[in-house]
Amino acid sequence: MRRVLLKAVGVWLVILVVAILNAALREMVIAPLAGPGIALPLSGVLLSVLVFAIAWLSLPFIAAPDKTACVFIGLLWLGLTLAFEFLFGHFIAGKPWHELIQVFNLRRGDLFSVVLLVTALAPWAAGKLRGRC
């Protein structure tokens, strides 16, 4: 099980890089072309699709032995994502907590809550679709 967890963390690091690239794409390309009101939700949808695709593609590599492992991997990815978002955002980027909480503001078009839900469910859902979990 240790190998499965290490592989799952490695895949999460790929997700992290993809999320950072997605944010850069949003800020440098989508927002200037379509405006921030469209860029933020579009970026959330795109990241959700990418997270699921990474889960789908990485499942054979991770080799989770059963449904419980797939669920645990999703919860691990969720925890790592939240930890990164808030700890990096506050202690490294220097953002105040009240600003970091705005990622949950659906009214402003931020779909981070949806991304978190997809991140948590992606290993199990991909496994279910692949007949592995």
Q: pLDDT category, 16, cuts 50, 70, 90?
A: very high
Contacts of 26 by beta carbon, 8 Å cutoff, 6+ apart = 39, 40, 42, 43
Cα 64 to chain centroid, rounded: 19
- For helices 2-25 and 67-83, the axis angle rounded to 10 degrees is 50
Q: Where are the alpha helices (DSSP H) in the chain?
A: 2-25, 31-34, 36-62, 67-83, 97-100, 112-130
Q: Is the pLDDT of residue 132 over 90?
A: no
pLDDT digits (tens, 9 = 90+) for 59-101: 999 999 999 999 999 999 999 999 999 999 989 988 999 888 8
What is the predicted pLDDT for the residue at 45? 97
**Residue that is written with structure tokens 């939700």 in the block:** 41
What is the predicted pLDDT for the residue at 98? 87
DSSP SS3 for 46: helix
What is the predicted pLDDT for the residue at 94? 87
Mean pLDDT across 16-31: 97
The pTM assigned to this predicted structure is 0.93
Q: pLDDT category, 36, cuts 50, 70, 90?
A: confident
Cα(119)–Cα(15) distance, integer angstroms: 9
**Residue that is written with structure tokens 């690239």 in the block:** 21
